[in-house]
């Protein structure tokens, strides 16, 4: 059997994504045959070598799981939280170890994908694949046509210009605006920051789709396995 990069093997075991696996290696959490390894270029034999993460033996996943969740507000998108806040995994009752693809912040609700397929998760989180994530935001104040055009063309947040967004004004409710915005990047709190830049503070934010995968009739706090068609969409969009 061919040798495999250590971070790829960790991702294929369902521990975490490849990107985060690299962090585990660099921080000294990974051992190969009892010896701590901190070199990212390390290769192992999946058949002959014993790999542990925090002294727990890992093995490659035999069956991948793909789930979608309608995340409520008030949950963090992590496996564990240092402040003991509720995590999205508290809502999913399965034995297999899974983790989120990307993130939704504490006060954002809506569609979140989770899997134990670390290789796919790593690729889908990369902006080069241009998978649009669509959100519905309710903001303070009425948004202007000028602000909508700014969002469409990209705005400066954290010394970084965002990629062009797809923006659609849905309706005004009193002195509030309901707007639909689609982005393919995934910077921290990006939609909130983009709307702040144009002067519209976000009151509520909900993600309704990840590419072709939508919330559908999934109730808040509920989850289900992705359909074959939804899984095929993910696989098509992570091919090199």
- Domain 4-57, CATH class in plain words: alpha beta
Q: Which residue has the higher pLDDT, 125 or 163?
A: 163
- The domain limits of the chain are 4-57, 66-127+213-236, 132-210
Catalytic residue among 105, 117, 217, 240: 105
Q: Which CATH superfamily is domain 132-210 in?
A: Alpha-L RNA-binding motif (3.30.70.1560)
Q: Which residue has the higher pLDDT, 126 or 11?
A: 11
In whole angstroms, give the CA distance from residue 18 to residue 3: 16
Q: Which residue has the higher pLDDT, 153 or 98?
A: 153
What band does 30 get if pLDDT is binned at 50, 70 and 90?
very high
Q: What mean pLDDT is predicted for residues 84-112?
A: 91
How far CA 230 is from CA of 66, 69, 95, 115, 185, in Å, comes to 9, 14, 22, 13, 20
CATH architecture, domain defined by 66-127+213-236: 2-Layer Sandwich (3.30)
Each residue of 140-152: pLDDT tens digit? 999 999 999 999 9
Provide φ and ψ at 137, rounded to 5°: -115, 140
198, 150 in Cβ contact below 8 A? yes
What band does 117 get if pLDDT is binned at 50, 70 and 90?
confident
Neighbouring C-beta atoms of residue 239, cutoff 10 Å: 7
In whole angstroms, give the CA distance from residue 105 to residue 125: 15
**Model pTM above 0.95:** no
Tokens of residue 234, six digits = 């993910």
Each residue of 153-179: pLDDT tens digit? 999 999 999 999 999 999 999 999 999
Predicted local distance difference test score (pLDDT) of residue 239: 61
In whole angstroms, give the CA distance from residue 57 to residue 10: 10
Q: Is 117 exposed, middle or buried (0-12, 13-18, 19+ CB in 10 A)?
A: buried
Torsion of CA 109, 155, 124, 208, to 10 degrees: 30
Q: What mean pLDDT is predicted for residues 186-215?
A: 95
The reply to whether 27 belongs to the active site is: no
* pLDDT cut 70: percent of the chain above it: 98
Predicted local distance difference test score (pLDDT) of residue 1: 55
Q: What mean pLDDT is predicted for residues 123-140?
A: 88
How far CA 137 is from CA of 209, 221, 222, in Å, comes to 13, 19, 21
What band does 240 get if pLDDT is binned at 50, 70 and 90?
low
Looking at 41-55, 91-105, 113-127, 145-159, which range is the least confident one? 113-127
189-192's contacts with Cβ under 8 Å and 24+ in sequence apart are 189/105, 190/157, 190/162, 191/135, 191/137, 192/105
Each residue of 59-82: pLDDT tens digit? 887 788 999 999 999 999 987 777
């Amino acid at each position: 059997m061919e040798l495999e990069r250590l971070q790829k093997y960790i991702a294929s075991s369902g521990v975490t994504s490849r990107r985060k696996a690299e962090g585990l290696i660099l921080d000294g959490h990974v051992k190969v045959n009892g010896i701590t390894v901190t070199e990212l270029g390390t290769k192992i034999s999946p058949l002959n070598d014993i790999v542990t993460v925090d002294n727990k033996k890992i093995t490659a996943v035999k069956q991948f799981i793909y789930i979608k969740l309608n995340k409520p507000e008030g949950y963090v998108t992590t496996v564990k939280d240092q402040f003991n806040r509720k995590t999205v995994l508290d809502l999913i009752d399965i034995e297999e170890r899974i983790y989120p693809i990307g993130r939704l912040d504490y006060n954002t609700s809506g569609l979140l994908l989770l899997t134990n397929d670390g290789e796919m998760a790593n690729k889908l989180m990369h902006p080069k694949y241009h998978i649009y994530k669509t959100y519905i935001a309710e903001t303070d104040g009425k948004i202007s046509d000028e602000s909508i055009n700014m969002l469409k063309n990209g705005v400066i947040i954290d010394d970084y210009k965002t990629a062009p967004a797809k923006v659609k004004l849905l309706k005004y409710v009193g002195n509030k605006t309901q707007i639909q915005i689609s982005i393919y990047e995934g910077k921290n709190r990006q939609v909130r920051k983009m709307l702040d830049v144009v002067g519209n503070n976000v009151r509520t934010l909900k993600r309704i789709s990840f590419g072709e995968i939508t919330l559908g009739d999934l109730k808040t706090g509920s989850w289900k396995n992705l359909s074959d068609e939804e899984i095929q969409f993910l696989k098509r969009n992570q091919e090199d």
